[in-house]
Structure 1
Amino acid sequence: MLTPAVTACPARADASAPTPDTLAYSLTLPSALTSPAIARTLTRTVLTAHGLAALVDPATQAVAELAATACTFSATAEVYLSLRFREGTLRVIAYDSHPRHTHPRLAAACDARRRTALRLLACVARACEGDWGFGEAREPGGGTRMWATVPYGGGVGYGRG
């Protein structure tokens, strides 16, 4: 009679410390007034852990603006936030459930309202030599996708103007 071999559980192959290239976080937040503060705290912690503390100031400002606007516009109880660092640039994306209006005047008015809500984000992105914008979400649930990019080189100099 053969006795089955006993094996140990496999060990994690990569137990290294976080690096900038491994920064990839996504979370769902309630569309509540407290969510931008939670998102800022998370961003500060994550960037520091991944060796990107130099980006904390512009990144927390961008995250707060995107989260606040997503919470304001969302028609559902939740918004989605994503942080990624790729090719020397931090990418922050927020999704809310507010769909694009089909009537051109309503769409233009809504876009103007969203641009006004994101005017500080535009200043942060410009100061960091990054980019920002919004448009229709390509996700199955629809809604609106907003984003900002903070290149490392531009973000390091943020606020030293």
Structure 2
Amino acid sequence: MPVTLSACPAHADRTAPTPENLTYSLTLPSTLTSPAMARAATRTLLAAHGLRDILDAALQAIAELTATACQFTASPEIYVSLRYREDALRLIAYDSHPRHTNARVAAACEARRRAALRLLACVTRTCGGDWGFGPAREPGGGTRMWATLPRTSTASAYGGPGPVSPR
């Protein structure tokens, strides 16, 4: 029986982009141009994964998250994550701003961040989604901000046709 050896195994999964395999992470500079870069990347990724029906809400949400992360971080970079799970787009932005130990300073800082995310709150409420912020669980700390946009209600709220059913 002949034995076949291969130094480089073939990659078995050559699946085309679908909503279910949308999983991306970006590290962006904490500059004024990062929200535009995040919007451009989000536009391209959602189109490639067949999620054009929620594009408008997603673009507004990612812009708000990245602009706020850039405003609050002391680091030269921010981190952004886009995932599609359980029929919802999940957007997360991390910045290096730690929670303050002084309760009054912490409350003032949280109020300032909440005010900076007013538009995000409106978008997610309109879409039947969720948003928030809190301490990052990752090493190095900082702050984690997120928005969840359910596909069906987001598409309905923004005039899209809704998800296309597979045949």
TM-score range with shorter-chain normalisation? Answer: over 0.9
2:148 is aligned to: 149
The 3-state SS of whatever aligns with 1:71 is helix
- Calculate the aligned-residue CA RMSD, in Å: 1.3
Q: Structure 2 unaligned segments of length 5 or more: list them.
A: 160-167
2:114 is aligned to: 115
Q: Structure 1 unaligned segments of length 5 or more: list them.
A: none
- Alpha-carbon shift at residue 12 of structure 1 (Å): 1.6
- After superposition, the Cα gap between the structure-2 partners of 1:146 and 1:20, relative to the gap in structure 1 and judged at 3 Å, is same
Contact 1:57–1:158 under 8 Å retained in 2: no
**1:129-148 paired onto structure 2 within 5 Å:** 129-148=128-147
**1:35-74 paired onto structure 2 within 5 Å:** 35-74=34-73
2:126 is aligned to: 127
After TM superposition, where is structure 1 displaced by more than 6 Å over at least 4 residues in a row? none
- Alpha-carbon shift at residue 6 of structure 1 (Å): 5.1
**1:12-91 paired onto structure 2 within 5 Å:** 12-91=11-90
Contact 2:54–2:158 under 8 Å retained in 1: no
Deviations 1:47-90 (A, max 9, x none): 01011111110001000000000000001100000000001010
- Alpha-carbon shift at residue 159 of structure 1 (Å): 3.2
